[in-house]
Amino acid sequence: MNPAMAPASLPVGRVEAAGPAFAEAAAALAASLGLALTGEADYVLRLGPAGLALQELGPQAPGPLLVDFLHGAQAHRRLQGGGSGQMIAKAVGIQSGVRPVILDATAGLGRDAFVLAQLGCPVTLIERQPLVAALLRDGLARAADDPEVAPIVARMQLRQGDAIAQITGWTEAPPQVIYLDPMFPHREKSSLVKKEMSMLRPLVGDDDDAPALLAAALALASHRVVVKRPRKAPVVAGRPPGYALEGKSSRFDIYPLRSLKPA
């Protein structure tokens, strides 16, 4: 998600502490994000016992949005999901004896990265929108305190910054797989996605530089690049994918570079 691509008129936000115990941490967060602690605002980042939550302000605003790997949909998918039979697992090349090293360069709220980490893949996440990165960092920290989920999030390393800059300046061993899920105007129509998009899109805009990100990813990845798209969306401009895996609402465009084989 790219703050540079956000609309010219951005909503105004502030940070709130849900009680005196959170005041110091809220002040530090506000300073790091360049947000106020008081005053008129369109949204609020509220820090409290449940974690850090994004809340729109106004009579028709949806409920708060926070990153939660311990409950709800993420917990259900962790406990009842399809394991390595999931389409995302096939897209990144997971198979018997193969758990590729993955760079998720458009981390967002971290859901896909969490699935991949649960399946045993080490995942580096890059999120360039500071507010979204703060939500994700908070969710990872809370999950790290849970004995069942801690081993999963231990395989997830978050970096905040511009993905293209980080990829082009990469100095470590290249990731085997780079995973991209650019923001796109037409997303799945579930109530969860509608809520998230209504809250996040005014802050982050669309990823109009997705072609440049794809080109950078293809230059770095050692084995493949995977791009998640809405099922009927066009491919990202540039090099065409080698093949695609298509589901009911999403598809994965796959750019193979080398075969993934068991070590």
Query: pLDDT value at position 72?
Result: 75
CA proximity to 16, closest of 27, 1, 7, 5: 27
Could you identify the residue written with the tokens 């990731």?
175
Could you identify the residue written with the tokens 């500071």?
130
**Tokens representing 109?**
């709220």
Return per-residue pLDDT of the chain as tens, 263 residues: 444 443 445 678 999 999 999 999 999 999 999 999 999 998 999 999 999 999 988 887 778 899 999 987 777 677 666 678 899 999 999 999 999 999 999 999 999 999 999 999 999 999 999 999 999 999 999 999 999 999 999 999 999 999 999 999 999 999 999 999 987 654 444 444 566 766 777 777 666 899 999 999 999 999 999 999 999 999 999 999 999 999 998 999 999 999 999 87
| CATH number for the domain whose boundaries are 72-256 | 3.40.50.150
Query: pLDDT value at position 117?
Result: 97
Angle (nearest 5°) at CA 127 between 121 and 132: 115
**CATH 3.40.50.150 residue ranges for the chain:** 72-256
207 annotated binding-site participant: no
What is this structure's pTM? 0.89
127 annotated binding-site participant: yes
128 annotated binding-site participant: yes
104 annotated binding-site participant: no
